[in-house]
Chains A and B, each alone.
Chain A
Amino acid sequence: MNSIGEGLWQAARLVVTLDPDLVEITALSLRVSLGATLVASCIGLPLGAWLAVNRFPARRFVIAILNALMGLPPVVVGLIVYVLFSRSGPLGVLGLLFTPTAMVIAQVIIITPIIASVAHQAIRDLWADYHDLLISLQATRLQRIKTLLWDGRRALMTASLAGFGRAIGEVGAIMIVGGNIDHATRVLTTAIALETGKGEFDMALALGFVLIGLAILVNLGLHFISRTERGARW
């Protein structure tokens, strides 16, 4: 059984022929995970910066919670989101269960702690460098955070990418809240789980290779954007 070779061959065939099902689930994977990364970054990056800049009694506690949440099993997050958005749950009236929106929400919960934690470390180092200057110039709290976020943007992009990496490869939560419905909420990872369950290892591997390729492409793309941006400004 030469599954890896078969998988690679099948992956190449699917990509070259632009298999419509593959295009559909890949597009949904990207939409859900990029959307989740975007939302989680909007929460996690300022939160990380805020934790780096402010000293308050519960700070260590909050950081400990963040680090603990980083290891939260996606299945647990999926279950919690399911219970919340089930028709019998408190947010059931929204009718969001088994939609891509619910998948985005679950992934936001999973990756926000990662993004916030990585951002916190990066911003903490930058804050050590900038501290005296920003205090001397009487920058307000908001101005300090804005400055640190802007000047630390490359490190923060790394934080967001770490979040994206976790999101695009995540299966436990989106399986539960998305339901892996064909043509509606099926993404690469849940399709891989499905094919594996059928014993179709070649197909599962092929989708796995597409997933890896996609993650690399997104990383390269962002790297390229950040390079052109640097070239223009410095």
Chain B
Amino acid sequence: MTFKSIVLGTVAALLTTTAAMAEEMKMAVTTSFANSGLADVLLPKVKEDTGIDVQLLIVGTGQALALGAAGDVDAVLVHSRAAEEKWLAEGNGTHRTEIMYNDFVFVGPQEDPAKAGGAETATGALQAIAGAEAPFVSRGDDSGTHKMELRLWKAADVTPEGDWYKAVGQGMGAALNTASGMNAYIMSDRASWLKFANKGDLGIVFEGDPVLFNQYAYLPVNPEKHPHVKTDLVNQLEAWLLSDKAEELINAYTIADQQLFVYNAAE
């Protein structure tokens, strides 16, 4: 009898799964954005002002764009311009709206054995790390951060390979965990780094080169390709992101007294 009631309860719970779904839209965002904690500030305000429940799928840039192309999400918020433009050219989205940027930093052992901190430019820092063959952890997951890292290696005219270069194929947090465990260098977005709780002996060794700026853009999925996408809600969210209120909230967001994002949407 008791067993029966458990069974019936489970079945009932399963059947009511999809009930009570009001104004919901799905947006794929990058791990770095989700880890920054900004979403936890913005989404409740979005809900308050527009009534929209934005459900976040936290994935790498590659997967985020793939989800959008497949029509599994309604919009995408990522930071990899070349990939975004290719994605738009393939007819997957309607347009690209730049919202804000943050920046990448090079994190490594605080004593900085490769002397990367003394470099003038980001590429110079990478050359120092490669020259010293100091352990370097790469995301290796085709994410926006990974693509940016590869562009910088190319610009530095270094082919990163050898025992010192570890591509882990994981998200930012997991990669940071690996770097912390190995006391290795790694490139991270500033937000993920500041939010990261397992810093160990690591610290920021290089920052500030404008090439490390990281532009976030909002890309609605093309309703002509996927008629089921909630274009209404997508447009409402975009309007909200372009509002003064969003600007204020984004610019005011800090971790450890550091501003993480700079709002730069064109009015």
- B residues near A (Cβ < 8 Å) are 2-3, 6-7, 10-11, 13-14, 17-18, 24, 26, 31, 35, 53, 55-58, 69-72, 171-174, 176-177, 180, 195-199, 226, 228
Contact = CB atoms under 8 A, between A and B. Distances in A.
Nearest to A96: B18
B228 A95 contact: yes
A228 B13 CA distance: 26
A98 B197 CA distance: 29
Interface stretch (A10-18, A84-92, A110-118): A84-92
For chain A, give the interface size range.
Answer: 20 to 34
A29 interface: no
22 contacts: A31-B10, A31-B13, A35-B11, A35-B13, A86-B72, A87-B72, A87-B226, A88-B71, A89-B70, A95-B228, A98-B72, A100-B17, A101-B17, A104-B14, A183-B53, A184-B24, A184-B55, A196-B174, A197-B177, A198-B173, A199-B176, A199-B177
Contacts of A97: 72
Nearest to A86: B70
A194 interface: yes
Contacts of A35: 10-11, 13-14
A38 interface: yes
Given A31-B10, A101-B17, A225-B2, A194 B58 contact: yes
Contacts of A183: 53, 55
A34 B10 contact: yes
Contacts of A229: 3
A99 interface: yes
Given A38-B11, A87-B226, A199 B180 contact: yes
A59 B10 CA distance: 33
Interface of A: 31, 34-35, 38, 86-89, 92, 95, 97-101, 104, 179-184, 194, 196-201, 225, 228-229
Report which residue of A35, A87, A201 has the largest number of chain B beta carbons within 10 angstroms of its beta carbon: A87
Contacts of B197: 198-201
B17 A199 contact: no
B198 A199 contact: yes
Contacts of A101: 14, 17-18
B14 A199 contact: no
Nearest to B58: A180
A146 to B, nearest CB: 17
B70 A197 contact: no
**Which are the 5 A-B pairs with shortest beta-carbon distances?**
A197-B173, A87-B71, A199-B198, A199-B197, A88-B70
Contacts of A181: 26, 55-57
Contacts of A104: 14
A92 B71 contact: yes
Nearest to A85: B72
Given A104-B14, A184-B55, 13 more contacts: A31-B14, A87-B72, A95-B228, A100-B14, A180-B58, A181-B55, A181-B57, A184-B24, A196-B173, A197-B177, A198-B196, A225-B2, A228-B2
B228 A98 contact: no
Nearest to B2: A225
B196 A199 contact: yes
Contacts of A34: 6, 10
A144 to B, nearest CB: 24
Contacts of B57: 98, 179-181
Given A99-B17, A100-B17, A196 B177 contact: yes
Contact of A98 (B6, B26, B172, B174): B26
B228 A197 contact: no
A196 B37 CA distance: 15
Nearest to B195: A198
B173 A182 contact: no
Contacts of B180: 199
A195 to B, nearest CB: 9
A201 to B, nearest CB: 6
Nearest to A27: B13
Contacts of B35: 197-198
Contacts of B17: 99-101
Contacts of B24: 184
A156 to B, nearest CB: 12
